[in-house]
Amino acid sequence: MGSDGRSGDAAGKHIYDRGGANGKRVQANLGAQNHAVVLEDADPESTVKALVAAGFGAAGQRCMAISRVVLVGGAQALVPRLVELARSLTVGPGTTAGVGIPPVVTPQAKVRIERLITAGVEAGATIPLDGRAYKVDGYPNGNWVGPTILAGVTTDMVLPQ
């Protein structure tokens, strides 16, 4: 939700409606639910590095962030390395050199993210890396969510978006 209480998709919906009303074709990709599919023949190290950068850069708060990864067959063996690399990221103020994950944008965003993580675990997913209740020294009131990886998510699980 935006600071005015409206959905973060409000601007996109408005543009879509106005464009359509004026006879324009409009494609509006709202919700930013981007997926990556990794096959068994993918280069392990370059794939893991790309996934971690795409998933955790800007605290995952950018339109092209990869929020879901489908590891096909033997590619599931990449999970421990994904966890290791994601765990090595530094969480902290975005103005500090070497920080890989800045705070999320609002306290409400932090609450929402942690609620989604909890819902995934309650639905039966495992959590090899849990970033809930993350603390950064010197910033007790920051909107910190550490790198988090849910695994074992199946297509029959109903996880909130």
What lies within 8 Å, CB to CB, of 60 at 6+ separation is 67
- Please count the other Cβ atoms lying within 10 Å of the Cβ belonging to residue 83: 17
- By residue count, the chain amounts to 161
Q: Is 26 a catalytic residue?
A: no
| CB distance 55 to 65 below 8 Å | yes
- With CA atoms as reference, report the closest residue to 72 among 33, 34, 41, 107: 41
Which candidate in 1, 37, 39, 63 is catalytic?
A: 63
Q: Catalytic site residues?
A: 63
